[in-house]
Structure 1
Amino acid sequence: MPETQIHPSAIIEPGAEIGPGCVIGPFTLVGPQVRLGAGVVLKSHVVVAGDTVIGDETVVFPFASIGEVPQDLKFHGEKTRLEIGKRNRIREYVTINPGTEGGGALTLVGDDGLFMAGSHVAHDCKIGNRVILVNNVAIAGHCVLEDDVIVGGLSGVHQFVRIGRGAMIGALSMVAADVIPFGLVQGPRAHLDGLNLVGLKRRGASREEMHALRDMLTGLGKGAFRDTARQMAQEDQSEKVREVLDFILGPSDRSFLAPHP
């Protein structure tokens, strides 16, 4: 592990913990409760504030703001946290906020994500591993994005929405309801447009698994999602179909995006 490098113009407030091999660029501010893992790189003009943990080998690009207070008028300075995992790439002008007391007091970001320029992760979100947010995506508070989700550029996700594993959101979409795992969603008021077949193939799904998912999606379109899912859950299903059904029947007060008529 190389030596830690801190530019003379950077401000590291007393109490901050800087891991071995970190590189902190010019005009960067690291707050007193921040903890940086090994090999973290903060390029120039980065702000990391609050009770924030950034995992090993994550790179934060210029003008990102990480851990500043939530954009929630109900927040009044209570103790909340932000945890960011390992090997993330957080590009220019990204904002990621900590939690709020009313939402569990924790925003959580997994490993190996790519957060492109201008994207935003709001308070109390739970972001999985290998998630990609393309330029200027806005994720509102309390959302859950499971592993391997991709959200296309200039899209918005409404607060409290869940997006299941491996789903893909097309560019310029507004997502206001839950998205099933492996779903493909797009539209100004987004609708379910089938399965994310490209993502399934990339992750090694077999032809049989994809056919089973297609049959399941066709069946779900014939009735109310939850009622139909309960009926399907009584039958023998493949692993990925079972994952989708468990997601549909999981805890949520929101409806689901349905196929476009």
Structure 2
Amino acid sequence: MEQLISNRAEIHPDAKIGNNVTVEAFAKIDKDVVIGDGTWVGSNAIIYPGARIGRECKIYPGAVISAEPQDLKFKGEYSTVEIGDRTTVREYVTINRGTSARGVTSVGSDTLLMAYTHLGHDVEVGNHCVVSNSVQLAGEVVLEDWVVIGGMSAVHQFCRIGAHSMVSGMSGVLSDVAPFTKVFGVPVYYIGINIVGLRRRGFSREQIDNIHEIYRAIYQQGRNISQAIEYVQAYLDPTPEMGQIISFIKASKRGIVKNAIGQTASVES
């Protein structure tokens, strides 16, 4: 199959380039790189050793993928960056390799990383996420599937952002963001559930209402988190979304975002 590779691109002979891949002038692809079929690599993009890029991705000019992590604990151990299929990496995005903590920085399929986004070491970004311009994700942050983060926001190391949640622009995330919620501020606080996003993804009115009832119990009825979980399990009908929310909260190490500026809520509170 045809490869559309500029003779002014720099490609290491050990790199594995799939079929129908385009590499524009002045791009650099190093050794120990794998690029899937149909992917486009723009001019001046740099892909360092350890990158594993899926099919039909777009890597825009100036992006730097799989550079060494900005972590003083890094001792040169082997690690990778793994990107799924049909993911777009816009201009000047930086994605650092993993460290001994996890060994890999990963981005799922059908995800959009807008310009100037930074993914620190060992970050895990799920499928169908949108990470807007100039968002900064510190090391070992986890974004579950269908997360949206607004422009110029920052996420503290080790934080987890639950599935189908939305972080508004210019926010600072210092605690875990529970699934299906919207948060805003510095530090962020709960402002509701992500109704628009859930509707767009086909959640029924009944599912949305059930999610809303769960978060009313957690955030709006004067209970601490442990009391809220007990109430939800005792008085609300069990649903997959309830199980997802409770499992997320119980697994939280940093505590989940609370509904007032500067407050967080944990399982122990």
Q: TM-score range by the shorter chain?
A: over 0.9
Deviation by residue 1:226-255 (Cα, 9 ceiling, x = unmatched): 4532553456422222211121122x3211
Q: Distance in 2 between matches of 1:88 and 1:48?
A: 15
Q: Distance in 2 between matches of 1:44 and 1:109?
A: 22
Q: Distance in 1 between matches of 2:175 and 2:31?
A: 38
Match of 1:131 among 106, 129, 132: 129
Q: Is the 8 A contact 2:43 2:62 kept in 1?
A: yes
Task: State the match for 2:85 in structure 1.
Answer: 86
Task: State the match for 1:169 in structure 2.
Answer: 167
Task: State the match for 2:267 in structure 1.
Answer: none
User: How high is the TM-score relative to the length of structure 2?
Assistant: 0.92
Q: Distance in 1 between matches of 2:226 and 2:20?
A: 50
Q: Distance in 2 between matches of 1:259 and 1:63?
A: 39
Q: Secondary structure at the match of 1:201?
A: helix
Task: State the match for 1:39 in structure 2.
Answer: 38
Establish whether residue 108 from structure 1 lines up as the match of residue 109 from structure 2: no
1:208/1:240 Cα in 2 relative to 1: closer, same or farther (>3 Å)?
Answer: same
Task: State the match for 1:198 in structure 2.
Answer: 196
Which runs of 5 or more residues in structure 2 are unaligned? 262-269
| Percent of paired sites with the same residue | 37
Q: Distance in 1 between matches of 2:233 and 2:49?
A: 44
Between 185-194 and 168-177, report the one with greater CA deviation. Answer: 185-194
Q: Is the 8 A contact 1:233 1:245 kept in 2?
A: no
Q: Is the 8 A contact 2:217 2:231 kept in 1?
A: no
RMSD: 1.4
Q: Distance in 2 between matches of 1:200 and 1:43?
A: 34
Q: Distance in 2 between matches of 1:44 and 1:29?
A: 9
Q: Is the 8 A contact 1:226 1:249 kept in 2?
A: no
Q: Is the 8 A contact 1:230 1:249 kept in 2?
A: no
Establish whether residue 184 from structure 1 lines up as the match of residue 182 from structure 2: yes
Q: Is the 8 A contact 1:229 1:249 kept in 2?
A: no
Deviation by residue 1:50-82 (Cα, 9 ceiling, x = unmatched): 211000000000000000001111112110111
Q: Is the 8 A contact 1:61 1:91 kept in 2?
A: yes
1:138/1:33 Cα in 2 relative to 1: closer, same or farther (>3 Å)?
Answer: same
Counterpart of 1:206 in structure 2: which amino acid? S
1:202, CA displacement in angstroms? 0.5
1:12-161 equivalences under 5 Å are 12-101=11-100, 103-161=101-159
User: How high is the TM-score relative to the length of structure 1?
Assistant: 0.95
Q: Is the 8 A contact 2:249 2:255 kept in 1?
A: no
Establish whether residue 248 from structure 1 lines up as the match of residue 230 from structure 2: no
Match of 2:211 among 210, 213, 217: 213
Q: Distance in 1 between matches of 2:153 and 2:226?
A: 26
Q: Secondary structure at the match of 1:228?
A: helix
Q: Is the 8 A contact 1:233 1:242 kept in 2?
A: no
Counterpart of 2:249 in structure 1: which amino acid? I
Task: State the match for 1:229 in structure 2.
Answer: 229
Q: How many equivalent pairs are there?
A: 258
Q: Distance in 1 between matches of 2:105 and 2:169?
A: 24
Counterpart of 1:242 in structure 2: which amino acid? G
Q: Secondary structure at the match of 1:67?
A: strand
Which runs of 5 or more residues in structure 1 are unaligned? none
